[in-house]
Amino acid sequence: MPSLHKKMSQNTNLLEDLRIECRKQIIQYPPKKSIKKEIISIAKKAAITLYTGKQHMTDRFFWPNALLANALEISHKRYNDIKDLEALVKYYNKWIEKGAKFNALDNAMNAYALLYLNEICPQENYEKTIEKAISYIVSHPKDKAGSLPYRNDDSNNILIDSLGMICPLLCRYGDSRQNVEAVDIASQQLNNFFEFGFDSKTNLPYHGYNTDKKIKLGIIGWGRGVGWLMIGLVVHQLNCFKGN
């Protein structure tokens, strides 16, 4: 028994360390590079800008940061630790101060935990940012089946990543605001991917598909891709079908 108590204590300490690190990383990620790596990074960004004509900037409000925000929400629900809430407030205030830009679907993912924060600490700027995120998704270009391309410059490439990034937000928003359109968009993304994005032999998803060329994209059963699918699917079921 002593060994069991010791193991439980170690697990508790590890979890606490992860929560502390999560509060740090949500503000600091991506971490600052060494001088050598920073020079290499600047050279790469310059090359990308020269080749594409678009300036490449580090996005500190991308999907990894949004996932950290989701983790802090879960942690706050479980432990009711004010430090988790303070980290979320600091992160979202920083995002809003910088204009809460939506360069890609990845950025819209941030509004999921913001809905939670806005319920606890209602703020007009939070509400405006949530509506801005929903408007971005609703007005986003779509393929002929109604799916949102992962990037605007690939208008027919539908990737599994977006299912975990926007479907949970659309479902939580639709459920809390009784917005049927948001729920319908989320349902359509999932239904379309099940119809067009799966391998018929293994019943596993591809990374994506192209509706115009009628081809599948990437590998079958990509681990993180399956994770994105499960996030979108589970939250969709929990939020959109509570009475069923």
Band (153; pLDDT cuts 50, 70, 90): confident
By three-state DSSP, how is residue 164 classified?
Answer: helix
What token pair was written down for 189? 């993304």
Note whether residue 228 is domain-resident: yes
Note whether residue 25 is domain-resident: no
Instruction: Give the burial string for 35-70 (b: 16+ CB within 10 Å, else e).
Output: eeeeeeeeeeeeeeeeeeeeeeeeebbbbebbbbbb
Q: What is the pLDDT of residue 244?
A: 47
Cβ atoms within 10 A of the Cβ of 152, count? Answer: 12
Note whether residue 104 is domain-resident: yes
Res 243 pLDDT > 70: no
CATH number at residue 183: 1.50.10.10
Note whether residue 213 is domain-resident: yes
- 155-209 confidence digits (pLDDT tens): 899 999 999 999 999 999 999 999 999 999 999 999 999 999 999 999 999 999 9
Query: What is the rounded average pLDDT for all residues in the chain?
Result: 88
8 or 9: which carries more pLDDT confidence?
9
Region 115-120 average pLDDT = 98
Owning domain of residue 92: 59-240
Note whether residue 125 is domain-resident: yes
- Our count of domains for the chain comes to 1
Q: What is the pLDDT of residue 49?
A: 55
Note whether residue 27 is domain-resident: no
Res 12 pLDDT > 90: no
- 43-66 confidence digits (pLDDT tens): 555 555 555 555 556 789 999 999
